[in-house]
Amino acid sequence: MPPVKVAEAISLILIAFASTTLLSAVGLAGGVLIVPTLILLFGLESRYASGTSIFAIIFGIFSAAFTYFRQRRVDVKLALLFDTLDILGVVAGAYLVVILPSLVTALLMGVFLLFSAWRLWAGGVKHPRKVERARRRTTIKRRLIDKDGNIYEYELGVPELALSQLASMLSGVATGLFGIGGGAVDTTVMMLIGVPPHVAVATSVFGMTITKIAGLFSHLALGNVLLEYGVPLAVGTTIGGQLGPRISKKLKPLMLRKALSIVVLIIGLRMITLWFG
């Protein structure tokens, strides 16, 4: 690959900053926009775009997770529950991106982006269903009080716990295969099982730190990380990771999700058109 020019490096920083700022505010990783950008604008192969994106995003994820943790909106036990099978899924995804042809990976990524766009537009469950204690023998009760004194209470039963494990595996595969993180899967499922949106967003970002580390080691071992692109991106994601949680705290997640869904939809359609030449 030719060396990255100064103008390109600045563009990478700005792209990473904007992507991480917007997406970390709704519980996603900036890779959902960074990976397609590296492929479409900079001409990188899917494997290099995925690996380089994970290298950069891990800085932004740690930055955002630290901010969310300080806001006391992270349910650490729930994050660990959703990341139980992530490492296995990440390793599988990282090897699939090497085995599968570039156009096939682009098609799969496009489908995944369309799914993410739909879930972003839907905005999760507006009114989480109440736990029916009469029908539930086993439930886990959770209660969080954030830095501003807001109280979040919810319960998880056996079906919810089983669904969390499925989401864990799928989000890991998404990270390893596409380099765009499993935040879309985790955040969506958390909301579906009744976790409050603000807790789901913060917990999803915090949980992705585990997945990203596993994904980074896998892609480094396979030679998929291009540091000349990754370093400028990391600068942008680190700054964006600080701003995103602050935006999430002030804005309604549903409003931001609908705006982002349009962007993700356009990118997803563009990735799918690569399959048809």
**Strand 151-157 to 139-145 pairing:** antiparallel
pLDDT at 12: 95
pLDDT for res 129:
43
Average pLDDT on 223-230 reads 92
Residues 143, 165, 181, 248, Cα dihedral to 10°: -20
Answer yes or no: are the C-beta atoms of 121 and 201 closer than 8 Å: no
157-196 pLDDT per residue, tens:
888 888 788 777 766 676 666 655 567 677 777 877 888 8
27 or 126: which carries more pLDDT confidence?
27
Q: What is the pLDDT of residue 24?
A: 86
Distance of CA 178 to the CA centre of its chain: 11
Residue 268: Cβ-neighbour burial (10 angstroms; 0-12, 13-18, 19+): buried
Q: What is the mean pLDDT of the chain?
A: 80
Please check the confidence at residue 21 and state whether its pLDDT lies above 50: yes
Structure tokens at 143: 């209660």
- Per-residue pLDDT, averaged over 100-127, amounts to 69
Q: What's the pLDDT at 63? A: 94
Inform me whether the pLDDT recorded for 64 exceeds 90. yes
* Whole-number pLDDT of residue 235: 96
Instruction: Indicate the helix (H) or strand (E) that contains 82.
Output: helix 76-82
210-245: buried (b, 16+ CB within 10 Å) or exposed (e) per residue? bbbbbbbebbeeeebbbeebbbbbbbbbbbbbbbbb
> What does pTM read for this prediction?
0.73
Once rounded to an integer, what is the mean pLDDT over residues 252-277?
A: 73
CA proximity to 176, closest of 56, 19, 51: 51
Whole-number Å distance between alpha carbons of 155 and 185 = 20
Neighbours of 169 (CB within 10 A): 18
What mean pLDDT do residues 8-13 have? 94
Identity of residue 221: A
Task: Count other Cβ atoms within 10 Å, centred on residue 43.
Answer: 10
Res. 264 pLDDT band, cuts 50 70 90: confident
pLDDT at residue 246 in the model = 92
Q: Which of the 8 DSSP states describes residue 135? A: T
